[in-house]
Amino acid sequence: MAHIEHTPTAHSHTKAILFDLDGTLLDTAPDLVTAVNALRGEYHLPPLSFETALSMVGKGAHNLIQRALTHEQALRFDADVAYAHFAAHYHRINGDATREYKGVSEVLHALHAQGYRLGIVTNKPTEFTLPLIQQFGWSNLFSSVVCGDTLSVRKPRPEPLFHALAEMNSTVKSALMVGDAMNDALAAEAAECACVILDYGYNEGQPVREALKQWPHVPVHSDFASALRPCLS
């Protein structure tokens, strides 16, 4: 992975910034957990605790559904039918209890005003991602939005990052990936892209600082604005 020093000069070459969505820009957990438990109800399963359901978030909707329906036992189910049930529940509430993390809109608008090219690279399906971007008034800020169903592969593979950067007419050498989970760090490493991680997100229920102890070259922040401060003049 590209070496990143925690200094303002480390981002002097940055022209493009890629952001994860869930757990990075938006706290979508309340709506996701509600939809997961509604799905479990369809299969006569009891609701999961908030923490247990949240630990399943991070590798896309299909993985979330698989984990949610097989938590206690190897339940057999049709993946397409289960997704349709989940999608119906999530569509009804998507955005209702979702909130942006502190300082996110202010920083995004400031970065855009300074000429940075901004993109989103998320494992969330397009049908749930675009309404959230619109709801929070960010549609005009992002030059690329790559979702979990945009390509045949998702993070931690590097291809979604490459795809976004191509749409942004940017290169990996001038890019920075901002996320909250090992998926983001692994994708950035595979792409040889600089990376900053935020510790307030999900990371499949595991403390991301602990997970990154062997990666001292990856800065970890607890505040969105402080993570992006080196990019702001």
What is the per-residue pLDDT across 105-158, written as a single tens digit (0 to 9) for each? 999 999 999 999 999 999 999 999 999 999 999 999 999 999 999 999 999 999
Fold of 29-93: DNA polymerase; domain 1 (1.10.150)
| Tokens representing residue 193 in the block | 């892209």
Does the pLDDT value for residue 97 go beyond 70?
Answer: yes
Q: Average pLDDT for residues 3-26, to the nearest whole number? A: 73
> Is residue 20 flagged as an active site residue?
yes
Does the pLDDT value for residue 36 go beyond 50?
Answer: yes
What is the model's pLDDT at position 75?
A: 85
Query: What's the one-letter identity of residue 219?
Result: P
Q: What is the mean pLDDT of the chain?
A: 92
Annotated catalytic residue within 20, 22, 27, 31? 20
Are 145 and 120 in contact by the 8 Å Cβ rule? The answer is yes
- The CATH number for 8-27+99-231, chosen from 2.130.10.10, 3.40.50.1000, 3.20.20.70, 3.30.750.24, is 3.40.50.1000
Are 71 and 52 in contact by the 8 Å Cβ rule? The answer is yes
Q: How many other β-carbons are positioned within 10 Å of the β-carbon of residue 59?
A: 18
Give the span between the Cα atoms of 187 and 165, in whole angstroms.
Answer: 13
Shortest CA distance to 101 belongs to which of 183, 223, 230?
223
Which range is least confidently modeled, 37-46, 71-80, 166-175, 189-198? 71-80
Does the pLDDT value for residue 1 go beyond 60?
Answer: no
Residues of the chain with CATH 1.10.150: 29-93
What is the model's pLDDT at position 181?
A: 94
Give the span between the Cα atoms of 20 and 28, in whole angstroms.
Answer: 12
List, as own/partner pairs, every contact residues 225-228 make where C-beta atoms lie below 8 angstroms and the sequence separation is at least 24, other chains included: 225/102, 225/103, 225/106, 225/107, 227/178, 227/196, 227/198, 228/17, 228/107, 228/111, 228/178, 228/196
Residues of the chain with CATH 3.40.50.1000: 8-27+99-231
> What DSSP element (H or E) covers 15?
none
